[in-house]
Amino acid sequence: MDGRIGFVLLFCLIGLTCAEPVKFVDCGSASGKVSVVDISPCSSQPCQLHKGKASSVNVTFSSGVESKTSTAVVHGIIAGVPIPFAIPVGDGCKSGIQCPIQKQQTYHYQTTLPVKSEYPAIKLVVEWELRDDNKQDLFCIRFPVQIV
C-alpha cells in the first residue's frame, strides 16, 4: 500500500472527517472555472448539514479575469425561490484567496457554512457565487444539501 494512502486511511479511521468531492452543477461561472468542491463533514450526498453546527466549504477554481476583490453570495433555493443565506465572511479575499486575483491562476476559496438551530429540517439546493470587481461570477455552483 502506498504510504500516502495508508496515512489518509489512518486519519480517517481515528475519527477525523475525510472530505469527499461534492457533485455540483455550474450555474453560470462567467469569469472562472471550478475544478473541485469539498464540504466537510459530508459523508454522503446530498450533504447533511447539522443544525447548530458549521460545515467547511472549500472550492478550487481558476480565474479567467483579474479582480482586486471577491465577494461571496449564498442562497438556499427552496421550491425554486432563492433565500439569502448568511455566511460569516463575505469577503473572498479573507477566505483563503490572496487578492488581487490574477488571470489564469488557481485559487482555493475556504470558508464555513453555519447552520442555525432554528433552520427547518429540509432538503434544498445551495447556490454559492463568488463575484469579481464587476459583479460577474468567478464561480457559481449549486449542490444539494439536507438540513438535519
Chain-centroid distance of CA 126 in Å reads 9
Greater pLDDT, 75 or 11? 75
DSSP state string for 70-114: -EEEEEEEETTEEEE---S--BGGGTT--SSB-TT-EEEEEEEEE
User: Mean pLDDT over residues 30-50, rounded?
Assistant: 92
User: Mean pLDDT over residues 96-124, rounded?
Assistant: 94
User: Mean pLDDT over residues 86-95, rounded?
Assistant: 93
Q: State yes or no: pLDDT of 6 exceeds 80.
A: no
Sign of CA dihedral 113, 114, 119, 120: positive
The pLDDT score that the predictor gives to residue 19 is: 54
Q: Mean pLDDT, the chain, as a whole number?
A: 87
The pLDDT score that the predictor gives to residue 85 is: 87
Q: State yes or no: pLDDT of 87 exceeds 80.
A: yes
Task: Please give the CATH topology (third level) of the domain spanning 18-147.
Answer: Immunoglobulin-like (2.60.40)
The pLDDT score that the predictor gives to residue 144 is: 95
**What are the extents of the domains in the chain?**
18-147
**Cell numbers that stand for 62 in this block:** 481558476
